[in-house]
A and B are shown apart, each in its own frame.
Chain A
Amino acid sequence: MWWDAFDILLQANFWAATIRIATPLIFGVLGALICERAGVLNLGIEGIFVAGAMAGWLAVYLGLSLWGGVVVAALVGAAFGLIHGTLTVPLGLSQHVTGIGVTLLATSAAYFGYRVAFPNVATPPRIEPFPTLDVPLLRDLPFIGPIAGQQTAFTVLAFLCVAVVAFVLARTPLGLSLRAVGDNPEAVEAQGLSVVGLRIGAVMAGSALMALGGAFLTLSAFNAFYFGMINGRGWVCIALTVFASWRPGKALLGALLFGALDAYQLRIQTIAGGMVPSQIFLMLPYLFSIAALVLVARRADYPRALMKPYFKGQR
């Protein structure tokens, strides 16, 4: 029994599942992190996930390539980001209210679009999703091989995004001004840069990443779009962003931890479900999120201008 519980951690399939479950969250946390680093909380994330999942899948269904679907999803995400950014940055509306509004709008628009496109289907139409990777040398490695062999190119993109976002944020002038705009927009203005432009750009880029998280579910993890399939994944990303202290590396870690807990609870349920109610296990990943928030948020280093609208010339 106890050995079984530990043995799960030694299985390659467990780690493969961890990465699969974590991938959409990696995109989501990166997206939320970029928005918040620029000073804008984006609660549109849950809806942007839905819109990305729907748009990417529909594009592929209508004949685009899989990567074409990924691009379409990103564009749709950026469009919703533009809406959120326009309302919250130059107009300075409440970021909470606008974000929830964007979630409702994006979710409903996705469902509406789906129903208009498919008024009469018995089961949702399917596409051919991303195939799993088959890299010659990698697949022969012990333990690592079977884990990597179950992933798709979309997951590789997620890991690449972590590296790119980390590099841009920490090492480029663009990253510097983006961080500054979330901490001290006056300083950015003094440098002759556009606060509005930077913030809207960051929200659009972040939203595009969020949409990729949704698209992963319909183009790689599964092969069809279902109403309600996002199932709170976006909200989890908002919590994980705080856990990550707005750092891409920690964001990856948080997403993987959450994925590991979910993969673990699915496995432990089948062993210990006879003794412990299944609901306890289902709670695990969410309990972790809350516990992590409580622990980390106490010394969280929030972007100082987070949720503070900036109006030129106003003190």
Chain B
Amino acid sequence: MVLKSSRSGLSRVLPLFSSGTIDRRQLLAFGVGAAAFSALGGPAFAQKAKPIKVAAIYTVPVEQQWVSRIHKALKAAEARGDITYKFSENVANTDYERVMRQYSQEGADLVVGEVFAVERPARKVAADYPKTAYLMGSSFGPTKPNFSVFDNFIHEPSFLTGMVAGKATKSNVIGLVGGYAIPEVNRLMQAFMEGAKSVNPNVKFLVTFINSWYDPPKAKEAAFAQIDKGADVLYAERFGVSDAAKERGVKAIGNVIDTSSQYPGTIIASALWQMEPTIDKAIKEVIEGSFVAADYGPYSYMAEGGASLAPLDPKLVPPEVIELVLAKEKEIKDGLFRVNVNDAEPKPTL
């Protein structure tokens, strides 16, 4: 060790590592370079035995709607014995890179997370660990050789819930409360609005962003403001909106998770995200040694079972509307109807 550390700058960092295998991996990445590695063309990943080691890094707690879906899918895979699962929640974006490195160093086979605020640093980390597979929520494309991306493409069921909302509104004013105006949010709101307009051309929209993912009191106030302005159906992108709807006796549309049991009679439809197809596909690829940098977005589409419309309650939605919506759902699944992906910020139309 003494000899090594006197030789080069690279060796001086060696004592930081916890095991010999990682030293080699790091040296390889450093010496040969990640680009050269992928340029070899051969399979970068070896086959792996179950259970593979999966680590997840979330910037919000696992109760948060979006992340809860990933957590659930990984928990299910763990229960099946396919993976061992470790996770860090509520990781600050400024700390994200470090936590990614730590799990990579510890020899995780697959690292799952969300890199919306750290797109570039996360890709740098991935390049340093070419034998680790990364599956990250991202607004951008995959990066060779080992950085795959996914996103919540549930615009299809959002369109369907929009149809329910468009038929349910009596005031022809629908309110939407969102966290941040980013593509992941905009796309679902746009599809929802399009769905509502498709069945009710007279409908107008109120749109409010609260610039926070996790401030239910503020989301509630935003929803109250929309109800004051005449909205009688609310698109509940954030926690807090359904509470306002319940208090004032208007209807709400759920997003990502199904909370209709907590707000009976208030939530009339929900667009759900299922991460299982995405996660299971990635786990399978890692086990088979065939993992490549790819866009896993399509595994969140309805046709793949990555998105669904929560069952509609005939007590809350008229039968003819249910029929209409289910017919459209079939068209989407059969590939006869395509819901547009529109990432532009939705604007109020009142």
| Residues of B contacting A249 in the complex (Cβ-Cβ under 8 angstroms) | none
Which residues of chain B are near A20, meaning CB under 8 Å? Answer: 221
- Complexed CA–CA distance, A266 and B215 (Å): 14
Which B176-224 residues have C-beta < 8 A from chain A?
A: 181, 206-218, 220-222, 224
Can you give 5 contacting A-B residue pairs, CB < 8 Å?
Answer: A226-B214, A266-B221, A267-B228, A269-B348, A278-B208
Q: Does B97 contact A (CB under 8 A)?
A: no
**With an 8 A cutoff between CB atoms, is A243 at the interface?**
no
Besides A121-B63, A217-B217, 10 more A-B contacts (Cβ < 8 Å) are: A20-B221, A115-B61, A123-B259, A222-B240, A224-B216, A269-B209, A270-B226, A271-B350, A278-B207, A279-B211
Q: Chain B: which residue is nearest A111 at the CB level?
A: B90
Q: How far is the CA of A136 from the CA of B347 in the complex (A)?
A: 42
* Per-residue interface assignment for chain B, residues 326 to 350, with 1 indicating a CB less than 8 Å from any chain A CB and 0 otherwise: 0000000000000000000101111
B residues whose Cβ falls under 8 Å from a Cβ of A: 60-61, 63, 68, 90, 175, 181, 206-218, 220-222, 224-226, 228-229, 239-240, 243, 257, 259, 262, 345, 347-350
Q: Which of A17, A217, A226, A278 contacts B239 (CB 8 A)?
A: A226
Q: How far is the CB of A225 from chain B (nearest CB, A)?
A: 10
In the complex, which residues of chain A have a beta carbon less than 8 angstroms from the beta carbon of B222?
Answer: 266
In the bound complex, how far is the Cα of B208 from the Cα of A226, in angstroms?
21
A293 within 8 A of B: no
Asked if residues A13 and B224 are in contact (CB atoms below 8 Å), the reply is yes
CB neighbours of A278 from chain B (8 A): 181, 207-209, 345
Residue of B whose beta carbon sits closest to that of A231: B215
Report the separation of the CA atoms of residues A271 and B175 in the bound assembly, to the nearest whole angstrom. 12
A222 adjacent to B208 (CB under 8 Å): no
Residue A175 is within 8 A (CB to CB) of chain B in the complex:
no
B214 touches A273 (CB 8 A): no
Complex formed: what's the CA distance from A126 to B243 in Å? Answer: 11
With A222-B243, A228-B213, A229-B215 as contacts: A274 and B348 at CB distance below 8 Å: yes
A270-B207, A270-B208 given; A226·B216 CB < 8 A: yes
CB proximity of B54 to chain A, nearest CB, Å: 18
Q: Is the CB of A270 within 8 A of B206?
A: yes
Q: What residues of A have a CB within 8 angstroms of the CB of B214 in the complex?
A: 226-229, 231
Interface contact A21-B206, CB-CB below 8 Å: no
A13–B345 CA distance with the chains assembled, in angstroms: 28
Within 8 A of B (CB), among A1-51: 11, 13-14, 17, 20-21
Most buried by A among B220, B262, B348: B348
Docked pose: A126 CA to B213 CA in angstroms: 19
CB interface residues, A 256-273, toward B, < 8 Å:
262-263, 266-267, 269-271, 273
Closest chain-B Cβ to A56's Cβ sits at a distance in Å of 14
Given known contacts A111-B90, A223-B243, A273-B207, A231 and B218 CB-to-CB distance under 8 angstroms? yes
| A17 / chain B contacts, CB cutoff of 8 Å | 221, 224-225
Q: Which of A224-257 contact B (CB under 8 A)?
A: 224, 226-229, 231
Note all chain B residues with C-beta closer than 8 A to A282. 209-211
What residue in chain B is nearest A225 (Cβ atoms)?
A: B216
Q: Which residues of the partner chain B approach A124 to less than 8 Å between Cβ atoms?
A: 63
A122-B207 Cα distance, complex, nearest whole Å: 28
A224 to B257, CA, bound (A): 17
The 6 A-B pairs at the shortest CB distance, nearest first, are namely A270-B206, A221-B217, A266-B225, A273-B348, A228-B214, A274-B347
* CA distance in complex: A258, B209 (Å): 18
Q: Quick one: which of B181, B224, B349 has the most chain A CB within 10 A?
A: B224
